[in-house]
Amino acid sequence: MSGKLYITLIIVQLLMGTIIPLATLGLLQVYKPSERKRRLIYWMDSVLVLIGIFAMRWNVVIGGQLFSKSFYGFTAYKLELIGREGFLVSSGLMVLPFIILIFLLWLLPPWKKQAETL
């Protein structure tokens, strides 16, 4: 299998996002490492699964743009750095909810402040 979506579909989504996390979780059931190593592997697997989910979304959106329904012709997609649909704007929109959350936590903290002892 080869083509425009080979890396994101086979390598990132299938291998990194599915097979590697399943294999490591299966190995954790056979080999019992220390609690710290288990937590590190769980954290790594969760990050890999999230990367696989983002790759799946990429494949659906970009794959839908690459192949037309009528098959009269193929379209092309080139990721730009700057522009309305560029990488910088997309990254900013992805980080914006976290900035809003940090601001709201600063403005309206959900925990009680402890009295300072002198």
Range scoring the smallest mean pLDDT among 45-49, 65-69, 70-74, 93-97: 70-74
Whole-angstrom Cα distance, residue 9 to residue 16?
Answer: 10
Residue numbers of the domain that contains 30? 1-71
pTM of the full structure: 0.61
Cβ distance 102 to 109 under 8 Å? no
> Within a domain: residue 7?
yes
How many domains are contained in the chain?
Answer: 2
Cβ distance 66 to 5 under 8 Å? yes
Residue 111 sits at φ, ψ, to 5 deg, of -115, 160
Region 87-91 average pLDDT: 87
> Within a domain: residue 118?
no
39-52 pLDDT, tens digit per residue, is 999 999 999 999 99
3-state secondary structure of 96: helix
Same domain, 53 and 33: yes
7-27 pLDDT, tens digit per residue, is 888 899 999 999 999 999 999
> Within a domain: residue 51?
yes
Residues 6+ apart with CB under 8 A from 48: 16, 17, 20, 21
